[in-house]
Amino acid sequence: MFNLKTVAVIALASTALFMGSQRAEAIIIFNFDTVYTGFTPDGPPAWATLTIVDFAADEVKMTLSANWDGSLYPAQFIRDLYLNISPFLNATLVSGSVSGPAVISGVSSSLDGINGGAGTSYDHRVDFQVAGGPGRLTGGETVSWRVTAPGLTEAHFLATEPGQGLEAGMHIQGITGGLSGHVTTPEPASLFGIASGLIALARARRNRK
């Protein structure tokens, strides 16, 4: 089930497509609002939001936002992002594509070879700066980057890992008390099909007038 916030985003995406876009683009949204191991991060869920879209042939763009209030919880930060790729491709970082205040310290891909905690085995990991100071991905900040592989599309990331059947994971550190936790998303929102349906409905209503 989609929550009201997601439905609103879908409606806006559909409206934008209906008003002038030449073709519908698929958008995958992961809202990280569920703890699967460790401690609960500070602030209300969802603690982070990731969007994945096709950028060019063999290339996708990812945008990650840390949603908590950084002035209330300045020590909390995102350390790692875990994703799945099916069929598996060795997705790598596009040089010079990182945009935003956070530093990406590494991007790696390994089929079921990335430990995301609690017995999970992901295919793709994005590492963010751990050392204190500027460069950490903290509350209120957004960073974007692109990854590439032959034939890669956003749809490759709609996959689950074999350990717990999770579609994505994230390691958040600096929780009050020096704690950390791993969070996931219960269900991603792929806007392609739903947005297309809303566009068709809007057109049908227009044609009846």
Q: What is the DSSP string of 163-181?
A: TT--SEEEEEEEETTTEEE
Question: What domain range includes position 80?
Answer: 30-187
Global pTM?
0.82
Kindly tell me if the per-residue pLDDT of 7 is higher than 80: no
Q: Does residue 39 lie in a domain region?
A: yes
Q: Does residue 142 lie in a domain region?
A: yes
Q: Does residue 203 lie in a domain region?
A: no
Q: State pLDDT tens for residues 144-169.
A: 999 999 999 999 999 999 999 999 99
- Identity of the amino acid at 157: F
Closest alpha carbon to 49 in 71, 76, 29 = 29
Q: Does residue 132 lie in a domain region?
A: yes
Q: Does residue 23 lie in a domain region?
A: no
Q: Does residue 86 lie in a domain region?
A: yes
Q: Does residue 199 lie in a domain region?
A: no
Query: How far is Cα 196 from Cα 173, in angstroms, rounded to an integer?
Result: 38
Task: Report residue 25's pLDDT band, with 50, 70 and 90 as the boundaries.
Answer: low
- Identity of the amino acid at 120: T
Q: Does residue 135 lie in a domain region?
A: yes
Q: Residue 132 corresponds to which tokens in the numbers above? A: 């204190």
Q: In angstroms, what CA-CA distances link 79 with 60, 125, 178, 180, 183?
A: 21, 10, 14, 10, 12
Task: Report residue 188's pLDDT band, with 50, 70 and 90 as the boundaries.
Answer: low
Number of domains within the chain: 1
Contact 151, 89 (CB under 8 A): yes
